[in-house]
A and B are shown apart, each in its own frame.
Chain A
Amino acid sequence: MADAKVIPFDDDRSRGSAVQRPSRRRSAGSRRRSGEPAPVREIGEVTEVREVQALPTGAVPHDDVPVTGEEQPWRPDDDGGGLERRIAGGLSFLRRRLTGDYDVDDFGYDQELTDQVLMSLLRPVYEKYFRVEVKGVENIPAEGGALIVANHSGTLPLDGLMMQVAVHDHHPAGRHLRLLAADLVFVLPVVNELARKLGHTLACSEDAERLLAQGDLVGVMPEGFKGIGKPFGERYKLQRFGRGGFVSTALRQGAPIIPCSIVGAEEIYPMIGNAKTLARLLGFPYFPLTPTFPWLGPLGAIPLPTKWTIQFGEPIPTDGYPPEAAEDPMLMFNLTDQVREQIQHTLYKLLVQRRSVFF
């Protein structure tokens, strides 16, 4: 993507002294070095706490699961008996799971299972495999509803999951991202069960508004199947943003829109072809053909270990509009375009800064 004409966008300004923008020429090398320590340190801290604290009861603000007494918040300076603590924590977790003594919300979000199990399964992929670098996480408000709008790519929606881990592990307020997923997700067995437990819900305005009204952080990828199933040649070219329904949802709730650009997901499964007949037979929107899939069988389904960057941009406020603004198609198109442009520009900028696809 060297041909991409980069227009500097001003969403770096607010981040102030954390990352001073170096000159464009040196950006590939020095930028990385100056930008790297912060996220690495952050990851270190998070994992340190997580390893010793098998049950982060403190990290869960509204956890009203009746706890069985034996697990006290574990203090990291207490070295001896760490293993025993973890065993005790694990057993009490097991006990609660086996007796069904845990809570899920109206959407089926199982916070305990997500924090304890599903995130621990996703974290190695996030940290070790894709080595995700997160920027601008401070643009996500510490409380209240907000809508994160991201680009969508990579044949399989791994980018959504990685974004969820990024918010979960890096946001100082420990916020949880509630993703809006395509209806196909809720048709497939097992997938729908896991998606619901991870806090995902169907991408429809009713659900999105309900979540925003509850003060949740909602993630949406308005490109949908057009973005995730686009051929490799069109990588990092944003597709049409649906009908801009996400803008009217945010307007109705007065929730800020946070543009998010994900670099790296495009190359995990380079889609060189689309077996349309097979897709139609299986009822999928597309059936990807990559250099490895389906030729190598299940082995071909392993994504390429690309290096990812997830950048959260500056929030676009939506609370200054009158209530009838959500019905104004012109305003909706303008806002949609603004969000789209901002994501596209950030994508180009990140691509120029990227040294290589894999490192």
Chain B
Amino acid sequence: MLVTGVARQLGGRFVRRIQRDPDVDRVIAVDAVRPEHHLGGADFIQADIRQSTIARVLAETGADTVVHLDVTATALGSGSRTTVKETNVIGTMQLLGACQKSPNVKRLVVKSSTNVYGSAPRDPAVFTETTAAKSLPSGGFAKDIVEVEGYVRGFARRRPDVAVCVLRFANILGPTAETPLVSYFSLPVLPTVFGYDPRLQFVHEDDVIEVLRIGSHEPVRGTLNSGTFNIAGDGVLLLSQCSRRLGRPTVPLLLPAVTWAGTLVRTLGMTDFAPEQIRLLTHGRVVATDQMRETLGFTPRYTTAETFADFARSQGPGLLPPEALAGAVDRIAALPVAGGGHPPTQSAN
């Protein structure tokens, strides 16, 4: 089994976990940089998937399963957006080219993202795997994903003998996750877009590892693990709910101001806050997971709310911890006469 993108926490965790499975003989971990975390007993090969060396690696090792995790939104360390894009798109092309040459490859798992659907007010409320995005993403990670999936589809056409599994993950959260949304939620005060309360869906890291395992093994009887699947925890959280559960106050800004500030911050290079993130935090995105349950046979252990709770615990208290607010309300409730009729309308939002 060959795994790319192991220098990331997620890749590292997956490599460590997959080696414990009995039908995995050998794991070859590939990345352009040496990972800081240990990889269990996996063989690490330092190779850049943007170069054709990856074909040699694949040919020499004779891997039968390729797990492509090196499709990411943010750079590792101090990489620029260009490097990320090249790794995503050119890297995928090289890897797929190598896979096509290799007669041993029987199974390919690609980590994708629900970013592929974009995020627009004119989209249906819930995306299924077959929904076509109304407005194709114009740039950034979302566009990379669209292109990556296009190449993967082409590969699947040319090599029908290879089982191809594309996993579209919702926003991955967890104690060690490293995504733009995680850095957003760790801001002390969350800037939001005035007048919009996006619906968000999360998937827990543990579930990500689990579903990658399902994708990279032989399918269990009665399930099928080739195809495209949305992977997300059950349920939906609104951004306002997230901020309250996290205990971080929000600052609603007008949409033009947010876009402008995003551009400014990007230009200054402080953080890579992409326009697609702003769109996500404006319109939100929810995907249907029926295929994941029925065809892939996977049921996530964490719901969206549980994933977020787990993430919130790892984040530490914010400026307005929910417990403190609840305590304050309880104290008011404990007062003998709570100042006349308290209309519930006061807390409208």
> Do B242 and A100 touch (CB < 8 A)?
yes
B186 contacts A by Cβ under 8 Å? no
Closest to B195 in A: A189
Distance, CA A183 to CA B332, complexed state (A): 42
Cβ-neighbour of B125 out of A101, A110, A201 (below 8 A): A201
Chain A residues near B126 (CB-CB < 8 A): 106-107, 206-207, 210
Count A/B pairs, Cβ under 8 Å: 134
> Do B338 and A91 touch (CB < 8 A)?
yes
Beyond A100-B243, A117-B344, A189-B194, whether A95 also contacts B329 by CB under 8 A is yes
B32 contacts A by Cβ under 8 Å? no
A272 contacts B by Cβ under 8 Å? no
Mask of A192-231 contacts with B, CB within 8 angstroms, 1/0? 1100110001101011001000000000000000000000
Mask of B140-155 contacts with A, CB within 8 angstroms, 1/0? 0000000000000000
B259 contacts A by Cβ under 8 Å? no
B157 contacts A by Cβ under 8 Å? no
Distance, CA A89 to CA B347, complexed state (A): 13
> Do B322 and A99 touch (CB < 8 A)?
yes
Distance, CA A197 to CA B21, complexed state (A): 45
Closest to B346 in A: A94
**Restricting to A60-107, which residues have a CB under 8 Å from any CB of B?**
70, 83, 86-95, 97-107
Beyond A95-B330, A98-B244, A207-B124, whether A104 also contacts B236 by CB under 8 A is yes
> Do B332 and A91 touch (CB < 8 A)?
yes
Interface range for B: 35 or more
B286 contacts A by Cβ under 8 Å? yes
A186 contacts B by Cβ under 8 Å? yes
Closest to B234 in A: A106
Closest to A190 in B: B195
> Do B124 and A99 touch (CB < 8 A)?
no
Beyond A104-B236, A108-B236, A183-B122, whether A90 also contacts B241 by CB under 8 A is no
Chain A residues near B243 (CB-CB < 8 A): 100
Beyond A102-B241, A104-B236, A186-B121, whether A206 also contacts B344 by CB under 8 A is no
B188 contacts A by Cβ under 8 Å? no
Mask of A33-70 contacts with B, CB within 8 angstroms, 1/0? 00000000000000000000010000000000000001
Q: Separation in Å of the B337 CB from the closest CB of chain A?
A: 9
Chain A residues near B268 (CB-CB < 8 A): none
> Do A186 and B195 touch (CB < 8 A)?
no
Q: Separation in Å of the A225 CB from the closest CB of chain B?
A: 15
Cβ-neighbour of A108 out of B197, B338, B345 (below 8 A): B197
> Do A94 and B329 touch (CB < 8 A)?
yes
Cβ-neighbour of A196 out of B128, B199, B323, B346 (below 8 A): B199
Q: Separation in Å of the B23 CB from the closest CB of chain A?
A: 36
A142 contacts B by Cβ under 8 Å? no
What 8 A-B pairs come out closest when comparing CB atoms? A189-B195, A100-B244, A99-B322, A186-B121, A190-B195, A206-B124, A100-B241, A95-B329
21 examples of A-B residue contacts, CB within 8 angstroms: A86-B342, A87-B338, A87-B341, A87-B342, A91-B338, A93-B344, A93-B347, A94-B329, A95-B329, A100-B322, A101-B245, A102-B241, A104-B238, A106-B126, A106-B199, A106-B235, A108-B197, A108-B199, A116-B344, A186-B122, A210-B288
